[in-house]
Structure 1
Amino acid sequence: MPVATLLEKALVTVKDNGFKYTKKRETLIDFLIKNNRYVAAKEVYDYMNDLFPGLSYDTVYRNLREFCEIGIIEDTELHGEMKFRFSCNEDFGHHHHFICNVCGKTEEIHMCPMDFFKEQLNGCEIEGHRFELYGRCPDCQRK
């Protein structure tokens, strides 16, 4: 899907969830769409602060967390640090990833292993889960 379409769809979701449109929010989302990988909040902040001098790190981080809650941004802990990326699922729906340990690129996994685990945990109520695979993408294997 083209970047402009993804951005438009994300901004509609932002508005539908009660957030005001701001150029800063649009810029943050656009940065993550174009990077198409997991990035540290500090990297997002550095980019944003260059464009909007004086912007606080807390504001950037709060927006990243809020956008995770509404599903347009995904987060993961990679190398002991929280990282963020634009949702690779066009409908911002449930999915899982393979994540490259070197560059942070991701590949969407088109199945969920929860049915297997539900069978193993008879009587338990699962309230959430995360399933990620880690390794090296083809580009990083060649380096």
Structure 2
Amino acid sequence: MDIKQALNLLKQNGYKYTGKREMMVQLFFEEGRYLTAKEVLDLMQKDYPGLSFDTVYRNLALFEQLGIVEGTEWNGERRYRIHCGGDSHHHHIICTECGRTRAIELCPMKAIFGQPENFEITGHKFEIYGICVECKEYEKNA
């Protein structure tokens, strides 16, 4: 998914195209990592000093509902990143220091469960948390 596709999703679903929404989408593309609502607010404050948490949260919820962003939780906080797009089934490894992610193509669910008897799996989520090489190197040199 690119910025244009993300903004078109808003229009196609009857939502207004605003400067705040465009900037929010651009932030996710520029940052390329999971962001908290507070980080989104902080990054947008310079251009929109009156922006509220409510507005950020409402738009993040809308973006998640439309599939523009995907959310996860770690350390008790909801975080968001631009949706991967694509049709291939995959999972992510996530750096808990910088929030960057990398897709992994294998699915641990298949190895664990196979196909359960009398049950159709319609979805699941599997994430692996750790520290990326860049963050580990930074910690070592700090």
User: TM-score when scaled to structure 2?
Assistant: 0.84
Aligned position for 2:11: 15
State which of 54, 75, 99 in structure 2 corresponds to 1:79.
75
| Contact 2:33 2:101 (C-alpha < 8 Å) held by counterparts | yes
With over 3 angstroms needed to count, the CA separation of the structure-2 counterparts of 1:95 and 1:18, relative to structure 1, is: farther
Q: 2:114 maps to what in 1?
A: 119
Structure 1's 54 and 75: CA in aligned 2 closer, same or farther, altered over 3 A? same
Letter in 2 for 1:36: G
Please give the secondary structure, in 1, of the residue aligned with 2:25: helix
Paired residue for 2:57?
61
Corresponding residue of 1:37: 33
Structure 2, unpaired ranges of 5+: none
Q: Is the counterpart of residue 49 in structure 1 residue 45 in structure 2? A: yes
Task: Output the CA distance in 1 between the equivalents of 2:105 and 2:114.
Answer: 20
Q: Report which of the two structures shows the higher radius of gyration computed on alpha carbons.
A: 2
State the shift of 1:92 in Å: 7.7
CA distance in structure 1 between the partners assigned to 2:111 and 2:15 by the alignment: 37
Structure 1 spans left out of the alignment, 5+ residues: none
Contact 2:92-2:101 at 8 Å conserved across structures = yes
> What is the match of residue 105 of structure 1?
100
Superposed CA offset, 1:12-54 (max 9, x none): 1222222221111000000111000111111101222321122
Q: Give me the identity figure in percent.
A: 46
TM-score, length-normalised on structure 1? 0.83
Q: Which moved more, 1:106-115 or 1:28-37?
A: 106-115
Write the distance in 2 (CA, Å) between the matches of 1:69 and 1:46: 23
Aligned positions, number: 138
